[in-house]
């Protein structure tokens, strides 16, 4: 489209609907366990195979303003609920498609908005009633299982869903560590503590410690001399001063009962030998990010100046060095809770795919563990909500016939989820729609291509968030009456300020 163009009214609405449908179409084939993988290729020829809707939408390189809003919707669903992004976009596409039909039949967007919102609030209260409260661990495990189904991690679903749920019971996803290492995924493990991928600074240091831990920011080396020296005696003298300096530091460390040191910078080789002799375990060049996690897990500060060590600055905890393909150290603080997942994967690409799958799974597990309310997936919950809204039993209808038409359109749109799952399995859509209308307690068995009661569970929060996200964002797009290709918005504000 040209710059500085104004698109108004029906034309703007068409643009919005077309874009939403295009984007929904780009991801709908990935929905559910039989969803297809898509290959993303960037301009540099990097390839990644994925069936994760959020990843696909995020990677679409687009200047289309409507498309980027829709990509944002997927992102915010992921941030709020960790999962359900494809569901949200597919549903929003369907809602906009039906809105477009209603508009063509003379229904005003405001009536549609009212009807959609009414339908949404009814669907939310009905799903609240349908939800089953489970035991926290069980809810977390079921949620992780559903999130992992259909991804490459599925072959290890039992081990991984157990790990995710246990991890979610210990720590918040943001504070969890997920480490992919080369190896066999069946050796995945949960560690109740923080894992730092590091080997001890030098051989011969203790492998386990219990007691004070110092987190040091500075390089652990003697002060540098700038003088150029030719006199060997002078050199010796300086070396002696440097050695003395190091010995003093180590003496201080011993006085402070330091058992382990994490140093963000380098540790001088002489220093390393002194530490080893004093049986202090030390790690050097620890990443800043890991240092921050250590402060959180241990509830301690980073020491800026190691020459000025105070006992009070020390963290207290246990460390254990584990030797494997990549050595790592487990750190446990007194009382502080942390969880780390070590995820071995055969290739770098599969490592990334496992990482993404686990991030989602741990997130939904966390929601499930906290909230414990679960609903039936595989399209069942959507069929149940749709049925309730259309049946008229205990469910108010709108007085205004146009609003009512929109409320019903919302209820029918919910079926897009079981329909898309059925489509991915190659089932007959008409047949599925009719059967679900009569027996909404069924779900889509995508493997056997039949409708039957399914034991697939999702956190209520994910389902509700995807549905609200689809309606609220769909509504704000419906409200958009004109799209103006403006100058960069920042420039407009800058001009206003100058005036
Ligand atoms: P999203 O990005 O929306 O999470 P997914 O590709 O993860 O998309 O698909 C989620 C849908 O797949 C949900 O409706 C869920 O109930 C359904 N689903 C998950 N596992 C199964 C299963 N074993 N059989 C049928 N449907 C399933
Ligand atoms: Mg999912």
What angle in degrees, to the nearest 10, is found between the helix axes of 380-391 and 401-413? Answer: 160
Average pLDDT, the chain: 86
Helices (H), 197-231: none
Sheet containing strand 457-459, strands side by side = 132-133, 373-376, 457-459
Per the listing, tokens 């960037």 go with 42
Distance linking the first and last C-alpha atoms of the chain = 31
Q: Which residues surround ligand 2, an ion (CB under 5 A)?
A: 83
Distance (Å, whole) CA 469 – CA 89: 9
Pocket of ligand 1 (CB under 6 A): 30-33, 35, 53, 83-87, 146, 149-150, 377-379, 417, 421, 444, 446, 454, 456, 458
Per the listing, tokens 């729609």 go with 433
CA of 112 to the centre of ligand 1 (A): 28
CA of 122 to the centre of ligand 1 (A): 23
Which residues does residue 178 pair with via DSSP β-bridges, in sequence order?
341
Region for 391 from its dihedrals, namely left if φ exceeds 0, alpha if ψ lies in -120 to 50, beta otherwise: alpha
Residue nearest to atom 21 of ligand 1 (CA): 378
Picking from 127, 131, 126, the residue whose alpha carbon sits closest to that of residue 392 is: 126
CA of 320 to the centre of ligand 2 (A): 36
**Predicted confidence pLDDT, tens digits, the chain (499 residues):** 455 578 788 888 888 888 888 888 888 888 888 777 666 666 666 666 666 677 777 776 667 778 888 888 888 888 888 888 899 999 999 999 999 999 989 999 999 999 999 999 999 999 999 999 999 999 999 999 998 887 778 889 999 999 999 999 988 887 788 888 888 888 888 888 888 889 999 999 999 999 999 999 989 988 776 666 677 777 788 888 888 988 988 998 999 899 999 999 999 999 999 999 999 999 999 999 889 888 887 888 888 877 777 878 888 899 999 887 778 899 988 766 788 898 888 888 888 888 888 888 999 999 999 999 999 999 999 999 999 999 877 788 888 999 999 999 999 999 999 999 999 899 999 999 999 999 999 999 999 999 999 999 999 999 999 999 999 999 988 887 777 666 666 666 676 676 6
- Cα angle 246-252-255, degrees, rounded to a multiple of 5: 145
Among 91, 94, 149, name the best residue to mutate to test ligand 1's pocket (greatest count of ligand atoms within 8 A of Cβ).
149
Ligand nearest to the CA of 51: 1
Residue nearest to atom 10 of ligand 1 (CA): 32
Which residues, 6 or more positions from 131, have their beta carbon under 8 angstroms from its beta carbon?
Answer: 373, 374, 375, 460
Region for 257 from its dihedrals, namely left if φ exceeds 0, alpha if ψ lies in -120 to 50, beta otherwise: left
For the chain, counts of helices (H) and of strands (E): 17, 18
Helices (H), 203-339: 232-255, 269-277, 288-298
Count CA atoms closer than 13 A to 392's CA, side-chain side: 2
Picking from 70, 27, 61, 65, the residue whose alpha carbon sits closest to that of residue 42 is: 61
Picking from 446, 444, 464, the residue whose alpha carbon sits closest to that of residue 454 is: 444
Ligand nearest to the CA of 150: 1
CA of 139 to the centre of ligand 1 (A): 16
Ligand 1 nearest-atom number relative to CA 447: 24
Distance (Å, whole) CA 339 – CA 467: 31
CA of 87 to the centre of ligand 1 (A): 8
46-54 contact pairs (CB < 8 A, 24+): 48/349, 48/352, 48/353, 49/349, 49/353, 50/353, 50/356, 51/150, 51/151, 52/85, 52/151, 52/356, 52/357, 52/360, 53/27, 53/85, 53/86, 53/89, 54/78, 54/85, 54/86
């Amino acid at each position: 489209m040209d710059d500085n163009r104004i698109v108004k009214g029906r034309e703007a609405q068409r643009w919005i609907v077309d874009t939403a449908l295009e984007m929904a179409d780009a991801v709908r084939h990935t929905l559910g366990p039989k969803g297809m993988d898509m290959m993303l290729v960037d301009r540099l020829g990097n390839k990644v195979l994925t069936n994760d809707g959020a990843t696909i939408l995020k990677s679409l390189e687009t200047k289309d303003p409507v498309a980027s809003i829709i990509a944002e919707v997927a992102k915010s669903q992921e941030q709020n609920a960790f999962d359900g992004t494809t569901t949200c976009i597919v549903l929003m596409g369907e809602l906009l498609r039906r809105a477009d039909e209603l508009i063509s039949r003379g229904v005003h967007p405001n009536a549609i908005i009212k009807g959609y919102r009414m339908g949404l609030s009814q669907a939310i209260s009905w799903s609240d009633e349908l939800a089953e409260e489970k035991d926290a661990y069980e809810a977390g495990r079921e949620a992780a299982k559903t999130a992992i189904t259909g991804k490459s991690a599925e072959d290890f679903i039992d081990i991984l869903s157990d790990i995710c749920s246990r991890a979610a019971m210990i720590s918040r996803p943001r504070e969890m560590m997920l480490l992919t290492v080369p190896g066999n995924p069946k050796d995945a493990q949960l560690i109740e503590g923080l894992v730092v991928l590091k080997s001890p600074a030098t051989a011969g240091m203790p492998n386990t410690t219990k007691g004070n831990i110092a987190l040091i920011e500075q390089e652990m080396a003697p002060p540098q001399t700038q003088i150029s020296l030719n006199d060997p005696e002078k050199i010796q003298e300086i070396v002696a001063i440097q050695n003395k300096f190091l010995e003093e530091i180590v003496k201080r460390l011993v006085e402070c009962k330091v058992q382990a040191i994490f140093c963000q910078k380098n540790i001088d080789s002489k220093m390393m030998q002194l530490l080893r002799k004093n049986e202090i375990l030390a790690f050097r060049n620890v990443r800043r990010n890991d240092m921050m996690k250590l402060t959180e897990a241990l509830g301690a500060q980073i020491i800026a100046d190691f020459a000025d060590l105070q006992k009070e600055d020390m963290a207290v905890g246990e460390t254990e060095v584990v030797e494997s393909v990549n050595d790592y150290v487990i750190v446990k603080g007194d009382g502080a809770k942390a969880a780390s997942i070590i995820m071995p994967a055969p290739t770098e690409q599969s490592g990334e795919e496992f990482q993404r799958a686990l991030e989602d799974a741990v997130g939904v597990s966390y929601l499930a563990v906290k909230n414990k309310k679960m609903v039936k997936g595989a399209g069942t919950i959507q069929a149940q909500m749709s049925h309730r809204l259309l049946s008229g039993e205990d469910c108010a209808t709108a007085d205004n016939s146009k609003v009512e038409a929109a409320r019903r359109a919302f209820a029918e749109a919910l079926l897009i989820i079981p329909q898309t799952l059925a489509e991915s399995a190659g089932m007959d859509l008409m047949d599925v729609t009719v059967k679900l209308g009569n027996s909404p307690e069924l779900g889509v068995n995508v493997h056997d291509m039949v409708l039957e009661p399914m034991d697939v569970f999702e956190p209520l929060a994910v389902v509700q968030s995807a549905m609200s996200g689809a309606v609220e964002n769909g509504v704000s797009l419906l409200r958009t009456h004109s799209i103006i290709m403006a100058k960069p918005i920042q420039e407009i504000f800058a001009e206003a300020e100058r005036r």
